Amino acid sequence: MRRFMIALIFLALLVPLALAQDPPKPEAAKEESLDDCLKRIEKNHDNHKDFSGKFKQQKYAALFEDLIESSGRFVFLKPDKVRWEYEKPHQSILVISGDDGQKWTETTRRVEKFKLSEDRGLDAVVRQLFTWFKGEFTKLKDDYDVEIVQRSPTTLRMKPKKDIVKKYIACIEVKFTEKDEAIASVKITEPGEDYTLYSFSDTRLDAGVKDEEFEIRK
């Protein structure tokens, strides 16, 4: 009873003040929608012509409870050139320019040329890289169910819509840097518990990447 009496006294004091001043209620900040989020991130990436930096790859195999780590560097030049170079523990290089690809490993020690369109698996992976680095995030909804799992920093989770992709990918999580200017990490989880995590660092934007980066000279 005492609790109700206190509440009534509080209301008795509050109502006259409210009637006298009648202040407007502040509107709650509207949470950013998924579409607006993707458009904003895409806009942040529009003006950047090239990206370069370092990456660390962690590949986890659940069956063996094994974590394999490797690292290297990457270079991307819009619209369709990428260099993906592993430096540790073993060196290998993949270069893509449009539909033309080259690869080199320290095992074969020779440059092999190929057409990206002839390797559907690699083509799908490279196109994902192009989508991320080109910042075409509004297109993700064509092939994935996308949700925001964290807003600071922005983290997106994507689940494939197509059955053929679901055989290889359960979901992809993309985390951005604080200002959404660059990608901080990408985690690709396969059906089951296997995953590959790419963490990016020392990312440089518009550093004036040269075409020579997209040639393998060994």
Q: pLDDT per position in the chain (218 positions), as tens?
A: 333 332 322 333 333 333 334 455 555 557 899 999 999 888 877 778 888 999 999 999 988 889 999 999 999 998 889 999 999 999 999 999 989 999 999 999 999 999 988 887 777 777 777 777 777 788 888 889 999 999 989 999 999 998 988 888 899 999 998 888 788 999 999 998 899 999 999 989 888 999 899 999 86
Q: Where are the domains of the chain?
A: 34-214
Distance CA 143, CA 127 (A): 12
Exposure string (b/e) for 20-47, b if CB count within 10 Å is 16 or more? eeeeeeeeeeeeeeeeebbeebbebbee
Q: What is the pLDDT of residue 164?
A: 82
CATH code for 34-214? 2.50.20.10
Q: What is the pLDDT of residue 24?
A: 52
Q: Is the entire prediction scored with pTM above 0.85?
A: no
Reduce the DSSP state of residue 83 to 3 states and report it.
Answer: strand
